[in-house]
Amino acid sequence: MIAYIVRRALYAIPILIGVNIITFLLFFVVNTPDDMARMFLGQKHVTEVQIEDWKTERGYHNPLFYNAGAEGLDSFKETIFYTKSLRLFVFDFGRSDSGRDISFDISQRMWPSLAIAVPQLLIGLLVAITFALLIAFFRATYIDYWAVVICVALMSISSLFYIIGGQFVMGKLLRVVPISGFESGIFGIKFLILPVLIGVVGGIGSSTRWYRTIFLEEMNKDYVRTVRAKGIAEQTVLFRHVLRNALIPILTGVVVILPLLFMGSLITESFFGIPGLGSYTIDAINRQDFAIVRSMVFLGAVLYIIGLLLTDISYTVVDPRVRLS
């Protein structure tokens, strides 16, 4: 088991190197730091001195790969590739273009993101599985048909509509909960209700439909027929046998997104003014803070790879045969 996990973890290293190279190419080779400086300072009336200052302030003044001006090992160390890209491997994100410590910001901002994302995932799973099981119980009836139609219609509505509509109805018409904002501690719950609710409603169409097909697939298997032939009641068949077995693909499918919950959702957080990592990224995009966007790209990739690793592990836990192949 441990040997398997170690082997899978080693596979992640070349992928991380690849991601690092992609971000480096995208941020420093396609456009040179000079272009970024010019963009940041405004196009017209920018002097060379200003550009140099901007670059030196943010550590973009070094050459890309090889610094001919430095001695010995320093000629590799004092380069953008070393200071900006290689440091990412030890999660040293450095400072943002506006001078703040990115690592500190991330450690502060991931908790609000989690406060939204975790309840949203759990409640969403519970609701979708319940609905899907109900629909599967009424399979091949009009209830099934119309439930699927409603699911497709729900899937077709833009997520922006759910947010804007939800804010309008719950926050402005009914005045049940505040429209946006965040507060830590127990009193912060009132700020979480609306985004969590909207996240659950927005995802319900596609996940219910997806779980329904999983349930139906499971119901067509031989062991279900055997159980039915033994005269077991339909509820027992569904809850004891089908549900338990269908949970395996559903839960292993969820594992991959678990680490990404830290990153939060860009849209939800910016609409509700939640100081999480999602709104952090959006602000960085709008302010054109390249250092933050670069760090978030790398962090997102790392979390995704961890998710893949966890998925592999969960498969072996559920089904030990996987490990042997």
Tokens for 173, please give them.
């018409």
- The reply on whether position 217 binds other proteins by CB under 8 A is no
Task: Name, in order, each residue with C-beta under 8 angstroms of 153's C-beta and a sequence gap of 6 or more.
Answer: 205
Q: Between 1 and 25, name the residue whose CB sits nearer to other proteins.
A: 25
- The reply on whether position 301 binds other proteins by CB under 8 A is yes
- The reply on whether position 110 binds other proteins by CB under 8 A is no
Q: Between 127 and 285, name the residue whose CB sits nearer to other proteins.
A: 285
- The reply on whether position 114 binds other proteins by CB under 8 A is no
Q: How far is the CB of 171 from other proteins (least distance, A)?
A: 10
Dist CA 169 CA 161 (whole Å): 12
- The reply on whether position 161 binds other proteins by CB under 8 A is yes
E strand or H helix at 267? helix 266-272
**Site stretch for other proteins (CB under 8 A), options 157-165, 221-229, 241-249, 310-318:** 157-165
For residue 95, the cross-strand partners are: 101
For residue 101, the cross-strand partners are: 95
Dist CA 218 CA 76 (whole Å): 57
- The reply on whether position 55 binds other proteins by CB under 8 A is no
- The reply on whether position 39 binds other proteins by CB under 8 A is yes
CA contacts within 13 A on the Cβ side of 267: 11
- The reply on whether position 300 binds other proteins by CB under 8 A is yes
- The reply on whether position 325 binds other proteins by CB under 8 A is no
Among 1, 13, 126, 157, binds other proteins (CB under 8 A): 157
Dist CA 22 CA 269 (whole Å): 27
Are the C-beta atoms of 260 and 306 separated by less than 8 Å? no
How far is residue 172 from each of residues 116, 164, 181, measured CA to CA in Å?
A: 21, 11, 14
**Site stretch for other proteins (CB under 8 A), options 68-76, 107-115, 122-130, 148-156:** 148-156
- What three-state secondary structure class fits 133? helix
- The reply on whether position 296 binds other proteins by CB under 8 A is yes
Q: Between 65 and 168, name the residue whose CB sits nearer to other proteins.
A: 168
Among 134, 201, 266, 322, binds other proteins (CB under 8 A): 266
Q: Between 41 and 193, name the residue whose CB sits nearer to other proteins.
A: 41
Q: How far is the CB of 17 from other proteins (least distance, A)?
A: 9
Q: Between 43 and 47, name the residue whose CB sits nearer to other proteins.
A: 43
Dist CA 152 CA 139 (whole Å): 17
Matching residue, tokens 């099981």? 133
Count interface residues toward other proteins (CB under 8 A). 47
Among 65, 89, 138, 168, binds other proteins (CB under 8 A): 168
Task: Name, in order, each residue with C-beta under 8 angstroms of 10's C-beta and a sequence gap of 6 or more.
Answer: none
Task: Name, in order, each residue with C-beta under 8 angstroms of 105's C-beta and a sequence gap of 6 or more.
Answer: 96, 280
- The reply on whether position 214 binds other proteins by CB under 8 A is no
- The reply on whether position 146 binds other proteins by CB under 8 A is no
How far is residue 117 from each of residues 28, 128, 266, measured CA to CA in Å?
A: 33, 16, 11
- Kindly list the residues in this chain that would bind other proteins in the complex (CB under 8 A): 14-15, 18-19, 22-23, 26-27, 30-31, 35-36, 38-39, 43, 152-153, 155-161, 164, 167-168, 172, 260, 263, 266-267, 270, 281-282, 285-286, 288, 290, 293-294, 296-297, 300-301, 304-305
